[in-house]
Amino acid sequence: MKVVYLDNNATTRIDPEVVEAMLPLLTHQFGNPSSAHGFGALAGAALRNARRQLQALIGAEFDDEITFTSGGTESDNAAILSALEVMPDRTEIVTSAVEHPAVLTLCAHLEETRRVKVHRIPVDRHGRLDVDAYRAALSPNVAIVSIMWANNETGTIFPVAKLAELAKEVGALFHTDAVQAVGKLPIDLKSTAIDMLSLSSHKLHGPKGVGALFVKRGVRFHSLIKGGHQESDRRAGTENTPGIVGLGTAAKLALKFMDDETRRIKRLRDRLENGLLQRVPNTFVNGDPLERLPNTANITFEPIQGNGILNLLDRDGIVCSSGSACTSGCAEPSHVLRAMKIPHGAVRFSFARDNDQEDVDRVLEVLPAIVEKLRDAPISGPDRRSTEDLQCVPGLIARRTGDHS
Ligand SMILES: Cc1ncc(COP(=O)(O)O)c(C=O)c1O
Ligand code: FES
C-alpha cells in the first residue's frame, strides 16, 4: 500500500538533490572548516556557499547574519537566552500562548528559575493574536518578544513585521520562530525590523538536526554554547558540514519551487478542505480563514477527538497528525486548540511538494466513513470523551506528548 504522507509540518522527505549535495562532505570532503590547510578550506567554502543560499531564501542583507545551529529548538533557545544576557536590566519576555514548546517550555523554566516575567499573549478562536493585549504587554522592561511567524498546528500567520515595529518602540529585541514559514512563504528580512529568526532544515526537505538563527547585523548576541570560535563566536563546536550543505541546497530548491509549488499545494489543500466540508457534516476548519499557510489544513470533526481518526487513517496508509496534547487517545486538545477555545481535538493535514491530487482523493474516499463510524461508536469510547470528563494529569501529558512538531 502506498503511504499517503500528509504530515509535512512534522517533517519532510529529504530531497534526493539534497542527499547528492551532502554526499561528498560525508565521504571524501571531510575536512574541518576551521583548519588552516587547503583541505579544510574546501569544507569552509561549502559552508560559505550554504550560508549564501540561505541568505537568499530569507532575504537577509548579509551572509554573516546567519549562524548554523542544530535546529529550530536550539535557535529559539539561543535567541531568547542571548537577549536576557545582553539586556540584564530587562526581565520580561513577551510571547504568545500558541508557541512551540521550544519557546514555551524555556519561558516556563525561566519564570521558575530566573524570576523572569512572561507575558503569554492570547489568541482568538481563529488563532489570531490579540494585538491590543500585545501592545499592553510591551514596556521598557521587555528584553525580547518571541512570536512565531506561522503556527505549526493551524498554519495561522502572525503579522510579525508589524509586531516587530511595535517592539522596537520600547527598545525590545524581536525574535520570530519561522520554522513553519521558511520555504513556504516569501520572506525578505531586509525590509523588516525583525532582529532574530529561527529556522529548521527538516521542514523544507533538508536533513534533520540542522537549522539556523538569523541575527541582524548590529544586534548584540551571546552564544548559548561556549567553546571555540566557530560561527563568528556565535555557536561553538565544529559545524555539521554535511547537514549545513544539505540545508543550503534545500534552501536553493525551496526558492526555485516557491511560486509554482505554493499555488499548486494550496489548490490541493483547498480541494481537501472543501471536499471534507461538503461530505462530512459538523466539520470545521481551524485557523485564520485568510492569513494561513497554504499547505496546512486543521480540521475538527465534532465531537470526535483527533486521535481516533488518526489511528484509523493510519491503518489505511494515510499519515497525518492530531491536534491533541496526548498521543495515547485521551481527550485533551493541544495547548494551541485550547488557547483558541476549541473544545475538541482536530486532525492536521500538512502538504508539501511530494503530494498530488491522488493523495487528496484517497483521503476524501476514506475519511467520511471513518468519521461516521466513530460518531456511531458507544459514548464510552476514549474518542467521545469531552474535556470535562477527563482528569488530566499534567505530568502524564508531559510524558505522553510525543509530537509537538
Ligand atoms: C514552530 C516550530 N518551532 C520549532 C520547532 C522545532 O524545530 P526542530 O525540530 O528543528 O528542533 C518546530 C518543529 O518541530 C516547529 O514546528
Ligand atoms: S491529555 Fe492525555 S493525560 Fe491528559
Q: Is the pTM of this model over 0.90?
A: yes
Give the pLDDT of residue 186: 97
Assess whether pLDDT exceeds 60 at residue 230.
yes
Of the candidates 282, 281, 208, the residue with the CA atom closest to the CA atom of residue 244: 208
- 3-state secondary structure at position 364: helix
**Lowest-confidence region among 97-106, 285-294, 296-305:** 296-305
Please state the ipTM of this predicted complex: 0.90
Q: Is 398 close to ligand 2, i.e. is its CB under 6 Å away?
A: no
Pocket test for ligand 2, best of 307, 330, 336, 399 (most atoms within 8 A of CB): 330
Confidence of residue 325 (pLDDT cuts 50, 70, 90): low
241-293 pLDDT, tens per residue? 999 999 999 999 999 999 999 999 999 999 999 999 999 999 999 999 999 99
Maximum pairwise Cα distance, the chain:
71
Q: Which domains are delineated in the chain? A: 4-9+258-400 (3.90.1150.10), 16-254 (3.40.640.10)
Question: Helix 101-114 and helix 72-86: axis angle, to 10°?
Answer: 30
Give the pLDDT of residue 64: 96
Confidence of residue 331 (pLDDT cuts 50, 70, 90): low
Q: Which set of grid coordinates corresponds to residue 53?
A: 543560499
Give the pLDDT of residue 343: 83
Contact 142, 90 (CB under 8 A): yes
Q: How far is the CA of 331 from the centre of ligand 1 (A)?
A: 24
Contact 249, 21 (CB under 8 A): yes
**Lowest-confidence region among 84-88, 276-280, 337-341, 386-390:** 386-390
Give the pLDDT of residue 81: 98
Q: Which set of grid coordinates corresponds to residue 283?
A: 466539520
Give the pLDDT of residue 396: 38
Confidence of residue 330 (pLDDT cuts 50, 70, 90): low
Q: Is 320 a catalytic residue?
A: no
Q: Which set of grid coordinates corresponds to residue 228?
A: 571555540
